[in-house]
Amino acid sequence: MELGAVFPTCEIGDDPIQIRDWAQAAEGLGYDYIVIYDHVVGAEHADRKPALTGPYTQDDAFHEPFVLFGYLAAVTTSIEFETAVIIMPQRQTVLAAKQAAEVDVLSGGRLRLGVGTGWNYVEYESLAVNWAQRGRLLDEQIEVMRELWSNDVVDIDTDFHRIDRAGIAPRPGRLIPIWLGGSSEVAMRRAARLGDGFTFASAGSRTVEMAEKLREIVATANRDPGSYPIEFNMPYGLGPTKWETLTQQAQDASISHLCINTMSVTSEWAGTPPSGLVSPGDHIVGLERFMQSVR
């Protein structure tokens, strides 16, 4: 099972040296990949109809995933990069395909592109994207990106895309893996049809049950559930005893990837204990403690 470290985007600050040190520490400690979350803007939650129920507001900082991974590609050598998830329907498809290709080229093929539809309709409005069409748009985006990565020239005319005999260059030397994320059956069915893997934002017995449901859906889509990769996400504040239990549980369930999230802001929203980690150095120490506990 591969182990990942969630980039503490809301808490790490904006010092590029500290960001570099965190990534190099994760690589040096033996983590297989770095995960970054995505939001372009945050919004006040008060007095919204419908209500905003996600964990982040305008006070939470988010480093832009493609730019961040371009930077980290230059200061690391082998650790992989995952977006989990980037809110793809908010972004122009061709530009996102170009940015992902550039990260993959500059990192030597280390990008895994996790995508999803998100929860913040205010963010969609701010980016002039139709919230109601996000699911259909994402389906098309996945297919269009793969076409752009595979061909010098594409000619596409669909409900959401028109590319008239054009292409991107440079292209990646492979099809960048596209994973889906979420917890709904809709997301799992989309992943079974179109995805190369799936990310759950949780771990534990309930998540194992959802993973088994996902494997049933994958099998129904005439794909091999045994080789379909699945990722769990564990909050750091649970502590060493729970880390070991949940890691063993994930291994027993043949989960392929497990990442540790040291941010307190997400723990508070999920109702799990906060990490108690404050500075970038604290987050590095947290990564070391987790690795020592489970490896």
Question: pLDDT tens digit string along 188-214?
Answer: 999 999 999 999 999 999 999 999 999
- SS3 label, residue 210: helix
d(CA 221, CA 209): 19
Per-residue pLDDT of 84-127, as tens digits, reads 999 999 999 999 999 999 999 999 999 999 999 999 999 999 99
Query: Phi-psi category of 206—alpha, beta or left, where left has phi over 0 and alpha has psi -120 to 50?
Result: alpha
- With cut-offs at 50, 70 and 90, classify the pLDDT of residue 284: very high
d(CA 52, CA 193): 29
Phi/psi at 85 (5° precision)? -125, 155
pLDDT of residue 169: 98
d(CA 89, CA 152): 24
Nearest-10 crossing angle of helices 205-220, 240-252: 20
Q: For residue 144, give the CATH number of its domain.
A: 3.20.20.30
Contacts of 231 (CB under 8 A, 6+ apart): 4, 84, 179, 197, 198, 199, 200, 255, 256, 257, 258, 259
CA atoms within 13 A on the CB side of 29: 26
d(CA 115, CA 97): 12
**Is 183's pLDDT higher than 90?**
no
Domain limits for position 237: 2-294
Cis bond upstream, residue 229 (ω within 30): no
Q: Write down the residue that tokens 């010092």 correspond to.
A: 15
**Is 241's pLDDT higher than 90?**
yes
**Is 269's pLDDT higher than 90?**
no
Q: Residue 217, Cβ neighbours under 10 Å: how many?
A: 20
Q: Residue 33, Cβ neighbours under 10 Å: how many?
A: 21
CA-based radius of gyration for the chain: 19
Structurally, the chain folds into a number of domains equal to 1
The overall pTM is greater than 0.85: yes
Please list the alpha-helical segments (H only) found in the chain.
16-28, 65-75, 93-107, 121-126, 134-150, 185-194, 205-220, 240-252, 264-270, 280-294
Per-residue pLDDT of 37-80, as tens digits, reads 999 999 999 999 999 989 999 999 999 999 999 999 999 999 99
d(CA 174, CA 181): 22
